[in-house]
Homo-oligomer: A and B are copies of this chain.
Amino acid sequence: MSLDAMGGDFGPSVVVPAALSALAEYNDLHLTLVGRAEALENELSRRRARVSERLVIQPATEVVAMDESPAKALRGKKDSSMRVAIDLVKTGQCDVMVSAGNTGALMATARFVLKTLPGVDRPAIISALPSQRGHTYVLDLGANADCTPEQLYQFAVMGSVMCQAVDHIARPKVGLLNMGVEEIKGVERVKQAARLLQDGAVNYYGFVEGNDIYGGTVDVVVCDGFVGNVALKTSEGLAHMLSEFIRQEYGRNSLTKLAGLISLPVLKALKRRMDPRLYNGASLLGLQGIVIKSHGGADELAFANAIRLGLRAAQMSVPDRIAHLVGSALQARAHGEGQ
């Protein structure tokens, strides 16, 4: 597995310790830290660690900035830690690449270097969100603003495979995100995607609404990237406001502060349950290779989770499974049309 060690808000100071803790957890894990050799060596020695058979350094002289334009990063920085880490997947030296860097640049570079799988038009970003029944996968979370019905169909297949592989659910329920106002039940592209999904390639549940993401109605929720991104960001905003309100209300006076103190175990348990770090790691699905995007602000625990997700995706050969399922869906459709 290759790690873009310079990516994210904190670079090596988060990636290196996360790498060390993942190595301690998984005996058969091999990691390649990609970035400025000196910075990485310093970070390792600061932690009394060093390169080994399972932990190597691959030098890369450049760093993609968090606000750099994807096109500029792709064209202008061919020796960036991000690019070199992806190249290692392309050449087969690594099976997974993890980065906390610039999402747009990561998507553009991964797509350019690795290419999409046969039958997949566009890669999508998928992540699990907590739900009342465990968690729900949602895609696309922002790679593709507008999608065709065919692309939504492909997302459904890819999300289903991801859920099968990572959660070992045989036939994940897949829902299409739609709107609930009766007058105009659904936008046209979503209705058309629903028709395509009647072919049985996935266990298609039907339309779902925003509340079903957290209700756990289905295992996978499919939507275009604009809608998925709004749902994700709106959720982040609401969760942030609520935790702020809880803090304010418990801090109001000495009586409420006492109540807060007594409630500490409960509040901590709640925090654990909602901890975004446990959900860190979005997959770029649909590529010929596994690329995991960590949150830019991830800490050690969160980044280690992204590594863990990459490991599971590799063990279950997610890209091969997607290629297989998309391929057979395309064949079935061609066969159906030929009849």
Residues of chain A whose beta carbon lies under 8 Å from any beta carbon of chain B: 67, 69-70, 102-105, 107-108, 125, 130-132, 141-146, 177, 179-184, 186-188, 209-215, 223, 225-227, 229-242, 244-246, 249-250, 252, 255-256, 258-260, 262-263, 265-266, 269-270, 273-274
Contacts and interface: CB of A to CB of B under 8 A. Distances in A.
17 contacts: A67-B182, A107-B181, A131-B241, A141-B181, A145-B187, A180-B233, A187-B226, A211-B234, A211-B237, A212-B237, A214-B234, A230-B230, A230-B231, A235-B238, A250-B263, A258-B262, A259-B265
A104 to B, nearest CB: 3
Nearest to A208: B233
Contacts of A130: 241
A182 B105 contact: yes
B256 A183 contact: no
B235 A234 contact: yes
A179 B233 CA distance: 9
Secondary structure at the A interface, as helix, strand, loop or mixed, is helix
A179 B263 contact: no
Contacts of A177: 230
Nearest to A130: B241
Oligomer: number of copies: 2
Given A240-B215, A262-B262, A269-B249, A182 B103 contact: yes
Contact of A237 (B183, B215, B258): B215
A202 B61 CA distance: 47
Contact of A183 (B70, B188, B250): B70
Contacts of A181: 103-104, 107, 125, 141-143, 225, 229
B225 A179 contact: yes
Contacts of A266: 249-250, 252, 256, 259-260
A218 to B, nearest CB: 12
A286 to B, nearest CB: 15
Contact of A231 (B141, B143, B210, B249): B210
Contact of A213 (B107, B183, B223, B237): B237
A234 B210 CA distance: 4
B145 A180 contact: no
A212 B235 CA distance: 11
Contact of A214 (B184, B227, B241, B273): B241
B183 A211 contact: no
A232 B227 CA distance: 12
B226 A210 contact: no
A223 B273 CA distance: 31
Contacts of A255: 265
Given A143-B181, A183-B103, A266-B250, A214 B238 contact: yes
A75 to B, nearest CB: 14
Contacts of A226: 179, 187, 227
B246 A270 contact: yes
B237 A234 contact: no
A230 B227 contact: yes
A37 to B, nearest CB: 28
